Each structure stands twice: as structure tokens, then as C-alpha cells.
Structure 1
């Protein structure tokens, strides 16, 4: 297979990465932008840089989990599975709903399993599905704890209003950088995991750094995520940052740190090293902040729409995957 054909068949993964960046950047930076502590442009630049670093540095550990769910050996099949997930995410992003890229790619892989009559690893599927429930709960619990810690720290510092504002702006920028790193480390498997078995990359050096063949693949995927953050993430950032629940700068810091830590913890080596939904973690973090404040004025209609998106995402992606594989089976 020539280079042009190979790159074309990987274009759906790049499209998926762009879609993930456009949708999921709001989950780690939306609170900072929605609270007006970080302008969108600055937040997008921070996110795009650190998401690439996380994608390469994480060495794609979570991709091994997805690989056990469905080992796609044919590059053409990987192209269609990634395309189905990307189309699903783009559809919901256009409606300003923060959907789960993890659910989309899992749905796409399950659609491939049905098409090829392949029995996936049901234990892995159970672990991944359990993480869809565990990640928002963990993020919510972290929010409850961090809310008290950060409030106590700010009270002990007893800063002037101007100094506290400046401190929170810097803290949100650093938390956003950590969140983008964690997003790249955890979610790069959603973008390029289906191509690990079939992509013909070799190791190479960049800026005196030696990248393995897998890291080269994930570097390319990281760039795709970064492009989505820079070009099309503003709408979802505002949905998470202000539409679901209005966050003060202090509470925005709590939410960003909670989501970042959740993504990071699920990317660490161990039995729960799985790609999790930053969208679900973000909603859990925001609800955790509301609970810590004793203020439950969450936009319930928006919350129900988000939950509906979570339910429909794997089903939609699975149907798209099966339809595309069936449609192009003779090509």
C-alpha cells in the first residue's frame, strides 16, 4: 500500500481527533473560559500544546484496553470505524452537546464486531462501561473535597481581591494545562487506538527526542486534537462553562482540577487503565461543585439533554460503523 493511500485511510482518525478536540476541550477549559478568567484564545493555545505532549508522553496505555475489545487488523476497516465515531461526535457537537468520544469509538468497535461476527472481550467491555459510571462519580467526589480545600487555602492566604483574582487566573491556566495533558494521555486511544495494529509507522526523531512507532502515530493524533481545540471548541466550552451551571472563578478551578485528576488517574497503569469520558467527568465535577455549595440550581433540561447524548452516542456510532462497513464492503 503506497503512502498516499495509507494517509488517506488514516484521515478518519485525524478527523476523529479534530472532533474530539472540538468537543472535549470544553470539559477541561470550559469552566475557566465560562467564568471569564481565561480568554478563549489563550485557553485554546494552552490546551493545544499540552494535549500533544500528553498524547506522546502517555505511550497510549489506554489503547491496549480498546485493542482487547476489538483488534482491527485491516487499515480499511479501521478507517471506517474511526469515521463512524467522528461523524457521531461531529453531529452532537453541532448541537452543542458535550458527548463522549470514548463511547463513540467503543460503539464503532462494537459495530465492527457485529459486522465481522467477532467476539470481543466482554470483560473489557464491562470495565469500560463501568468507567462511564465511575468517572462522573469520582469527579464529583473530587469536587466536593477540592471545594473545601481550595476555599480554606484562600481564606488562610487572606489575599487582596486583585491578588486573589491574579492567583486564580494563573491557577486556572496551570490546571488547564494539566487537564489538556491528561486529556491527551487518556483519550489519544480514542483517536488512534484502532490504527495501532495496522499503521505502518516507524520510529523517528523530533527536536532531539526519539519517538517510537506508536508515539509517532499518537503525535499525529495529538496534532489533530489540537487543531480541533483551536478551530471549533468555543461553543462546547460555553455550554460546560456557563449554560449548565454558572461557576465563579474559584469554583471553576475546582471543576477543572477534578476533571484533570479523573482523566489522569484512569490513565495510570493498572486494572482500570481505560479511556474515560471527559464529558461525563466534567458534568460530574460541575454537579459536585453545586452539591458542595448546597446550591442545586443546575439547568436540569440541559443536564437531561447531555445524558440523552451519552445514551445515544454508542448506539449511533455503532449503527454508523455497521452501515459504513456494509456499504463499502465491496470496495
Structure 2
């Protein structure tokens, strides 16, 4: 029961992610009135759960390297700080990055517990905040050019074209929901994987481990967020930033889905590494940044006159403020949890022990040596 109580902050974060990031899956489709919200919510909810359970482990490891939140009280607080940040940004109708919120919150935990932040991992994550929208824009422009080329060579009746576009938006939206679950479930449940160990479910033909159970629960929370509170941000992405044609909406969702899938596929990363190329980093990517990068890419390809810079500026401000706000909020909430509720929120001890066990010669430097009479006698006999 206590475990479930502490897990509520992760569920709240999942709900906030669904409420915010559904716009990245079906926002453009709903904004162009090609797909109804109810159908979009059902499809997104189903496939986000499938993606979380089937492919969510890869990106989760990266967040664990950034900060191994070791206690249940700390995991609860870190997730709650990120969730409150995302929820507040969502209330302002800003497509905020859940990835940035949880990263800022974990760094706040590192500061409070005096654990060093792995700058290599942080650099890798921040690089995706830059490369994600760029890749989204590049993919969107290339796909848009291919679509234009195809429509010139194949003449379709307006009705057939409309049907194909609607079906395409549904299929691509399902792929986008799968990729969102696979890549972003780490943001929701990643901080709990070290502190919560659930009993594996053995069905003879299938064993569902602790992480998969957590990812399933988090996927349900995301699905509920999509169904109950995502219309606000959908209007921002689908209509406010730039007027979109249905074809452009299809391309934008596909570009975003491809980027998220690439950064969460262990199979693809291993395949690239097997031919001697650097493996793709499995990192939680900001779907908000990718989809808006795709929208801007198409807007620039069309000349850039239709992009509403004032809305783009407010969105950019939200991206900058998110990790800072989440980090500060996490720090003070951890202080409150530790000193008022007397909950253990972690310390440098665990990381120090792990480093001690892995560093050569650290046993003699960092641990007291205990002599046992039997071993001392055996050592003395061995030296004779």
C-alpha cells in the first residue's frame, strides 16, 4: 500500500505527459479536422501502452546513468516535481518537454544529495534537445518533398485523396503513440525502477518482470492523460503555431514518430554498432521539440511567412524554463520531504560504495581492513 502511495507521483507525471504530448501525435490531425479527438484518444492510448511495455527499457537506462534515485521517497519527490512543472506548463497551453522536466528534477536530486551529475550523460541528453528538432525538420522536409513528387505523378480524385490522408493520419498516429510510449515511458517510471521491485508475473509462456509492470502502469496513466486533458495543447500545436494542410499534418506526425523510434530502438542501435558505426544513443527525446521542429521545417520550406513567431517565442521560453523550474522545485521538495516528513531521500553513500567496488585498488584506500585470526594464520603459513 505504501508503494502504491509513493507511485502516485509517477502516475501523475504519466497523466501530465499524456495530457501534453498527445498534441505531438494527433495535434496536427485534429487541428486540420481530419481525425476526431475521440478516435485519436483511443488509438493513442492503446499504442502508447504497447510501446511502453515492448520497447521502453532502452531509454530508461540513460536516465538511470544520469542519477540513480535510490529510495522510494526520493523517487516520489523527483517525479512529483517534474509532474507539477509539466502540469503547470500544460495549464498555460505550452507544449512543454517532459524529458526536460524529469532531467531537471533528477539534477535537483543530485544537488540535494551531493551526488555528482554525469556530464557525459547530461551532454548526450542535451544534444538530443538540439538534434531532435533539427532531425524532425529535416525528415519533415524530405518527406514533404517526396509527397509532392508523388502527387504530381499520381493523379487522385479528391475523395480518394481525402480518404487516403485520413487513414494515413490514423496509421501514422498509431506509430507515433507507440514511439512515444517506447521513448518517453522512462520519463514517467524511470526513477522508480531502482526503488520498486515488483514480483514477476509468470504465465508459463510469458514472464512480465518488474520494469515491464511499472511501464504498463505508467502507460495506462499516459493513456488517461490523453483522454482527459489533452485538448488544450492540441489546439496550440494543431492550429495556433502555423496553418497546416492535412498532407503536412501527416508528414509532421511521421517525422516525429521516426525520430522517437530511432532514439528508443535497441535493435536498430545494435545493428548499426555491428557494422562498425557508433551506436545510436538510447535517450528520452522531447517529442514536443521534435514535432515543432517538423512544423517549422515545413514552414521554412514554404517560405517561412506562415510561422507565428510570437507563439514560437512563448514555446521556446517554456522549453528554457522547464528544466530550471523542475530542478529548483525538486531541490526544495526533497528538503521538505527529508526534514519535515523524515523520509530518506538518498545520499552519496550508495554511489560511493559502487565507485569503491569498481575502482582498482580502492578496497585498500577507502575501506577499513578487518583481520580475521584464521585468515591471518593462513597468510602467515603461506609466507613460510
Q: Fold-level match, TM-score > 0.5?
A: yes
Q: In the alignment, what sits opposite 1:297?
A: 306
Give the structure, 1 or 2, with the largest relative contact order (CA under 8 Å, sep 6 or more): 1
| Aligned equivalent of 1:320, options 321, 329, 338 | 329
Superposition pairs of residues 246-325 of structure 1, within 5 angstroms: 246-269=243-266, 270-325=279-334
Q: In the alignment, what sits opposite 2:192?
A: 195
Q: In the alignment, what sits opposite 2:89?
A: 92
Deviation at 1:296, TM superposition (A): 2.8
| Aligned equivalent of 2:167, options 167, 170, 173 | 170
Quote the Cα distance in structure 2 between the aligned partners of 1:207 and 1:307. 50
Distance 1:120 1:271, change over 3 A: farther
Deviation at 1:328, TM superposition (A): 1.5
Deviation at 1:291, TM superposition (A): 1.8
- Residues 128-153 of structure 1, C-alpha deviations (whole Å, 9 max, x = no match): 01110000000000011000111222
Q: Residues 56 and 186 of structure 2 are in contact (CA less than 8 Å); yes or no, is this contact kept in structure 1? A: no
Quote the Cα distance in structure 1 between the aligned partners of 2:303 and 2:194. 49
Quote the Cα distance in structure 2 between the aligned partners of 1:183 and 1:161. 32
- Residues 57-89 of structure 1, C-alpha deviations (whole Å, 9 max, x = no match): 104210100000000110110000000000000
Q: In the alignment, what sits opposite 2:226?
A: 229
Deviation at 1:207, TM superposition (A): 12
Paired residues in the alignment total 328
- Residues 127-185 of structure 1, C-alpha deviations (whole Å, 9 max, x = no match): 00111000000000001100011122233331100000000000000000000000000
Deviation at 1:209, TM superposition (A): 4.6
Distance 1:205 1:300, change over 3 A: farther
Q: In the alignment, what sits opposite 2:105?
A: 108
Give the match's secondary structure for 1:308. helix
Question: TM-score, length-normalised on structure 2?
Answer: 0.84
Question: TM-score, length-normalised on structure 1?
Answer: 0.97
Quote the Cα distance in structure 2 between the aligned partners of 1:151 and 1:30. 22
Give the match's secondary structure for 2:263. helix
Quote the Cα distance in structure 1 between the aligned partners of 2:56 and 2:200. 13
- Residues 27-50 of structure 1, C-alpha deviations (whole Å, 9 max, x = no match): 111010001000111111111110
Superposition pairs of residues 18-167 of structure 1, within 5 angstroms: 18-167=15-164
Deviation at 1:286, TM superposition (A): 0.2
Deviation at 1:205, TM superposition (A): 5.3
Structure 2: 5+ residue stretches without partners: 267-278, 342-384
Give the match's secondary structure for 1:267. coil
Q: Residues 147 and 292 of structure 1 are in contact (CA less than 8 Å); yes or no, is this contact kept in structure 2? A: no
Quote the Cα distance in structure 2 between the aligned partners of 1:209 and 1:238. 41
Larger radius of gyration: 2
Give the match's secondary structure for 2:223. helix
Deviation at 1:213, TM superposition (A): 1.5
Quote the Cα distance in structure 1 between the aligned partners of 2:258 and 2:203. 29
Q: Residues 202 and 216 of structure 1 are in contact (CA less than 8 Å); yes or no, is this contact kept in structure 2? A: no
Structure 1: 5+ residue stretches without partners: none
Deviation at 1:293, TM superposition (A): 2.0
Quote the Cα distance in structure 1 between the aligned partners of 2:46 and 2:169. 16
Give the match's secondary structure for 2:299. helix
Give the match's secondary structure for 2:207. strand
- Residues 220-262 of structure 1, C-alpha deviations (whole Å, 9 max, x = no match): 1000000000000011111101100111000001111011111
Deviation at 1:200, TM superposition (A): 2.0
Quote the Cα distance in structure 1 between the aligned partners of 2:67 and 2:280. 18
